[in-house]
Amino acid sequence: MKSFYTELIDINGFELAILLLFLIFASVNVLDTRLKQAELRGESNPQIMPKFVITFIVLQYVSLAILVFINWKLALVAFVLKFILSVLPVMELLGSLIAKPFHKNEE
């Protein structure tokens, strides 16, 4: 019988790819949330994300659902990892790098 940690380490390439896609989609989602919060606070010169960012949000939850069906323990770790990295500015920075070509500055 395998322990919890050895099952987490023993992931295949497909699970790893879905995990990375989940983190990429989640980082764009976190960046969009932070930009909306800045706009509500009234900060000067907020950056506006395009409307198709909603697809990244949907793909984030789809990839999490796939992870739940494939390996629920890995999905739980992914969700906790997303939460921890969202509190730190890591997800926001990654989302900023990914969505840099899509930013529109509103004058």
Q: What is the pLDDT of residues 11-61, one digit of tens each?
A: 788 988 999 999 999 999 998 888 888 888 887 666 777 788 889 999 999
Q: 61, 78 in Cβ contact below 8 A? A: no
Phi, psi of 104 (to 5 degrees): -120, 125
Helix axis angle, 72-87 to 13-41, nearest 10°: 30
Q: For residue 43, what pLDDT is reported?
A: 76
- Structure tokens that stand for 69 in this block: 């069906």
What average pLDDT does this structure show over 78-95? 89
> Where do the structural domains in the chain lie, given as residue ranges?
12-105
pTM of the model: 0.81
